[in-house]
């Protein structure tokens, strides 16, 4: 029988800000407001796809954990061996699972490092790297703006005549440069401009998501639902008035209700109790405002096998990124969206050895391939939606990635 591979977690005294620790390649991140996790190096990696993908991901992760001998004196979620995951939106597309060789984390004033293998504790850089960001040129993605508005109009027609209540239609843009893209300056730009979002990087999918699909920690589960959006002007007085109009908008409140209901219904079988606030709050980001609701619950203690994977299998796809009813919305997306989403709008984040974790929806993001990056934005279409307004909303949602590339 082969010997177990050691995994060691130690407390750190000081280090550079998390994103400044990342090497040029094979890096991973889940960072918000300076706290979170970064990793690099690939200890193990695999892909999953199909209707069993969340179950297959759990089985692969458990099989990897069975080969490890863990030394960890910190009883904090995210310490010990860690799995970074980036699941596709559609089950038929490829999802990526990565176990990094080295992880550094910070939470509530405590920092730590975890590394895999029998080598000595790795050294961390003591100097912020000099990064160069190239110039990008832009082109349309899968559809032109007019073509996309036409698809939105078709979807509105489907809502008017059938049982479909909401569908999310997304679009993409392509940015190209002359050299291979280093994603580190993009992550730094996103972190600086959008500190209240989760800055993620998994296998060349990078972004700044405001939407936490799932946080599972010690039997407590949280999901932040965002649906209903309005652009900001930069004028505080005008933006306060716009926030008030968003909170009263029947179209946006209806869209939000579908999303909240889908998450609450998905969590209910796993929880002894759930808390769903009666009305949403307005979440202010640098470029837009969203209607937001935090759904929380306490897991049923007798269901010891419930973990992040089993919750993901019920939560995804939520109405926030797909629509209502789910099967009809998925069909509309397949027929009319006109592009392959890949891992856009899929769950992205991390899971630890106990099955706890944090995963957001891969929104406000882009997928890097050599010297090009494909960025995404989606809009919830309901009765009363207007194609031109939805196009403007999608452009506002492109803003984080466009500004990070400039």
Rounded average pLDDT over 147-165: 94
The pLDDT mean for the chain works out to: 93
pLDDT score of 2: 63
Its CATH architecture, for the domain 5-118+135-404, is 4-Layer Sandwich (3.60)
DSSP designation for 249: -
pLDDT bracket for residue 1 (50, 70, 90): very low
Q: Among 95-99, 108-112, 304-308, 366-370, where is mean pLDDT lowest? A: 304-308
List, for residues 207-245, the tens digit of each pLDDT value: 999 999 999 988 899 999 888 888 888 899 999 999 999
Q: What gap in Å lies between CA 293 and CA 318, rounded to an integer? A: 14
pLDDT bracket for residue 81 (50, 70, 90): very high
pLDDT score of 287: 84
List, for residues 12-27, the tens digit of each pLDDT value: 998 999 999 999 989 9
Q: What gap in Å lies between CA 264 and CA 381, rounded to an integer? A: 21
Rounding to the nearest 10 degrees, give the CA dihedral for residues 158, 163, 166, 168: -60
Structural element, H or E, at residue 374:
strand 372-382
**How many CB atoms neighbour CB 16 within 10 A?**
15
Q: What gap in Å lies between CA 198 and CA 274, rounded to an integer? A: 24
| 350 pLDDT above the threshold of 90 | yes
Rounded average pLDDT over 57-62: 98
Length of the chain measured in residues = 406
* Alpha-helix residue ranges (DSSP H) falling in 194-317: 236-248, 250-267, 308-315
List, as one string, the DSSP characters of 147-203: HHHHHHHHHHHHHHHSS--EEEEEEEEEEE-SSPPPSHHHHHHHHHH-TTSEEEEET
| 373 pLDDT above the threshold of 80 | yes
């Amino acid at each position: 029988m082969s010997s177990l591979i050691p995994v060691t977690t130690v407390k750190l005294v000081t280090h550079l800000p998390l994103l400044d620790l990342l090497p040029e390649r094979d890096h991973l991140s889940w960072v918000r407001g300076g706290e979170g996790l970064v990793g690099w190096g690939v200890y193990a990696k695999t892909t999953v796809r199909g209707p069993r993908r969340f179950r297959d991901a759990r089985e692969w992760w458990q099989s990897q954990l069975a080969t490890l001998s863990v030394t960890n004196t910190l009883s904090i979620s995210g310490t010990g061996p860690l799995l970074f995951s980036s699941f596709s939106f559609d089950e038929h597309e490829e999802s990526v699972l990565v176990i990094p060789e080295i992880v550094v984390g910070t939470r509530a004033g405590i920092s730590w490092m975890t590394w895999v293998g029998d080598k000595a504790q790795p050294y961390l850089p003591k100097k912020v790297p000099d990064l160069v960001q190239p110039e990008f040129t832009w082109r349309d993605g899968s559809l032109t703006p007019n073509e996309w508005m036409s698809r939105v109009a078709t979807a509105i027609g489907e809502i008017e005549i059938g049982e479909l209540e909401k569908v999310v239609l997304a679009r993409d843009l392509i940015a190209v440069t002359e050299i291979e893209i280093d994603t580190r300056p993009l992550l730094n730009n996103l972190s600086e401009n959008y500190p209240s979002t989760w800055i993620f990087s998994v296998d060349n999918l990078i972004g700044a998501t405001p939407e936490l699909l799932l946080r599972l920690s010690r039997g407590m589960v949280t999901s932040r639902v965002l649906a209903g959006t309005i652009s900001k002007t930069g004028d505080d007085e005008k933006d306060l008035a716009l926030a008030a109009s968003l909170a009263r908008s029947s179209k946006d409140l209806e869209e939000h209700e579908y999303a909240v209901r889908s998450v609450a219904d998905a969590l209910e079988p796993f929880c002894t109790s759930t808390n769903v606030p009666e009305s949403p709050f307005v979440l202010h980001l640098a470029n837009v405002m969203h209607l937001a609701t935090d759904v929380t619950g306490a897991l049923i203690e007798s269901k010891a096998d419930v973990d992040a994977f089993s919750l993901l299998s019920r939560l995804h796809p939520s109405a926030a990124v797909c629509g209502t009813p789910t099967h009809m919305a998925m069909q509309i997306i397949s027929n009319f969206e006109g592009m392959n989403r890949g891992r856009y709008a899929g769950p992205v984040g991390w899971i630890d050895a106990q099955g706890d974790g944090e995963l957001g929806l891969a929104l406000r993001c882009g997928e890097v391939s050599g010297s090009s990056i494909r960025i995404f934005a989606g809009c919830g279409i309901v009765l009363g939606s207007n194609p031109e307004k939805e196009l403007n909303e999608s452009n506002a949602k492109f803003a984080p990635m466009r500004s990070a590339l400039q």
